[in-house]
Chain A
Amino acid sequence: DQQVKQNSPSLSVQEGRISILNCDYTNSMFDYFLWYKKYPAEGPTFLISISSIKDKNEDGRFTVFLNKSAKHLSLHIVPSQPGDSAVYFCAALADRGSTLGRLYFGRGTQLTVWP
């Protein structure tokens, strides 16, 4: 049962425009959300995160928005650059309880930024 869902397997965006990657979750115990970026033949690397007490977190060109009532988060990349082409994974965890430290990943979205 997929508790974190990324329903778009791929996204193609022109350089300079905005990329919006979406993620939905089902487990109301999740209270922290992260985005990881993965290039081919490399391990995922942490990109940005957000706590459930916030609805927005910004880091340079990357902004994550959280809508708790809808159990939905999105990653905005503005402006998009060719080097952003990668697979983006949404992940969530509960900061308490027996599953402390366990990340639940979505299936990923392949972002392609073309010149």
Chain B
Amino acid sequence: NAGVTQTPKFRVLKTGQSMTLLCAQDMNHEYMYWYRQDPGMGLRLIHYSVGEGTTAKGEVPDGYNVSRLKKQNFLLGLESAAPSQTSVYFCASSYNGRPYNEQFFGPGTRLTVL
């Protein structure tokens, strides 16, 4: 099992460009999450999904869109990148939302917006 994988690992964008980050999990998990980590800020939830075809906003959703067309994939889109979106992005998944089902994290995508 690969667990949770993220592509790409690194990306540099110019302000105003768009891109999509892909997250894939092979554990048949229902719940998937996108977080961003900024220095001194911990991990903050951007969007999450409780099942195929469903998405919901987290703490910092502005400037991002997501889609969950397939159970195993969760896409994070930036329509018009801004320097404030420079961050490390982590995807995670869990069997369901219950606390005894841990969240498994991917290795992260480091995004720089110039």
A interface residues with partner B (beta carbon < 8 Å): 4, 6, 9, 31-32, 34, 41-46, 49, 51, 89, 93, 95, 100-103, 105-108
Q: How far is the CA of A108 from the CA of B36 in the complex (A)?
A: 14
- Interface of chain A, main secondary structure: loop
Once A32-B99, A41-B108, A43-B4 are accepted as A-B contacts, the answer to whether A102 and B42 lie under 8 Å apart by CB is no
Q: How many residues of B contact A (CB 8 A)?
A: 28
For residue B103, CB closer than 8 A to chain A, the reply is yes
Interface residues as binary, B40-80 with A (CB distance below 8 Å gives 1, 0 otherwise):
11111100101000000010000000000000000000000
Total residue contacts A-B, CB cutoff 8 A: 60
Once A89-B42, A101-B48 are accepted as A-B contacts, the answer to whether A43 and B98 lie under 8 Å apart by CB is no
Contact B94 A101 (CB under 8 A): yes
Given contacts A46-B102, A107-B42, 6 further A-B contacts (CB under 8 A): A31-B99, A43-B105, A44-B90, A95-B99, A103-B45, A103-B103
Contact A44 B105 (CB under 8 A): yes
B interface residues with partner A (beta carbon < 8 Å): 4, 31, 33, 35, 40-45, 48, 50, 58, 90, 92, 94, 96-100, 102-108
Q: Report the nearest A residue to B92, measured CB to CB.
A: A43
